[in-house]
């Protein structure tokens, strides 16, 4: 069975009205029939926590891993330094395999509602993910700037200013679908050679 794995925090897990919801995984299942879509994302996870689950992800033998961390790493509460974030992501990507990973930048967060997640750290951590995508030759989606430049930014986040609305997931899905297709096509070529 061809597998697509979502591995991240509450953004990928899906978080609606204060509880877990498999929103994004359900959408990807519809977009990719014939693929098993497994959501291994956990709310409140940081890359430090993710390091304990990487081998489990690898054992699933996925064709694609959508890697989306950052909203918790960015927080200045129990702060993780950008260098540690980069080191953790590098280890995760190298363990899974860079040819399988689609790396997401941390998403846009309303820093007025979430002052522990300031805009400067959002930008800093986006630069880390962008740099890693180039350094490790990984597919990359800069969801932070896609959201920040959206004409309807206020409609992309729930009232908490942190979690996605249906429109936020629409934007993310629109960005993900072509990258998933490209990664699957690339991996099919590698398998057939």
Enter the DSSP assignment of 107: P
**Dihedral (Cα; 67, 100, 149, 27), 10-degree rounding:** -80
Work out how many domains the chain is built from and give that number.
1
pLDDT score for 23: 87
Domain that includes residue 160, residue range: 2-192
Neighbours of 85 (CB within 10 A): 23
Q: Which helix (H) or strand (E) holds 4?
A: strand 2-8
Model pTM score:
0.95
- The helix/strand/coil state of 101 is strand
Q: Which two tokens stand for residue 119?
A: 């805009």
pLDDT score for 132: 97
CATH of residue 44's domain is: 3.40.50.1110
Q: Which two tokens stand for residue 98?
A: 């860079």
pLDDT score for 66: 98
pLDDT score for 190: 57
Q: Over the chain (193 residues), what is each successive 10-residue block's mean pLDDT?
A: 94 83 91 95 94 96 97 93 97 97 97 96 98 97 97 94 95 96 83 47
Q: Per-residue pLDDT tens for 51-76? A: 999 999 999 999 999 999 999 999 99
pLDDT score for 146: 97
């Amino acid at each position: 069975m061809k597998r697509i794995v979502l591995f991240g925090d509450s953004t990928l897990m899906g978080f609606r009205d204060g509880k877990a919801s498999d929103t994004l995984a359900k959408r990807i299942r519809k977009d990719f029939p014939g693929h098993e879509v497994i959501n291994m994302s956990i709310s409140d996870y940081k890359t430090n926590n993710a390091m304990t689950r990487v081998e489990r992800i690898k054992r699933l033998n996925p064709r694609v891993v959508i890697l989306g961390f950052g909203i918790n790493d960015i927080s200045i509460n129990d702060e993780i330094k950008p260098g540690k974030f980069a080191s953790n992501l590098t280890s995760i990507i190298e363990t899974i395999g860079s040819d399988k990973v689609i790396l997401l930048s941390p998403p846009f967060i309303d820093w007025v509602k979430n002052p522990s997640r300031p805009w400067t750290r959002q930008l800093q951590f986006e630069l880390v993910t962008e740099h890693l995508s180039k350094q490790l030759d990984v597919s990359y989606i800069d969801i932070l700037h896609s959201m920040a430049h959206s004409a309807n930014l206020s409609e992309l986040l729930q009232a908490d200013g942190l979690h996605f609305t249906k429109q936020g997931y629409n934007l993310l899905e629109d960005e993900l679908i072509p990258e998933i297709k490209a990664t699957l096509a690339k991996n099919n070529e590698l398998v057939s050679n």
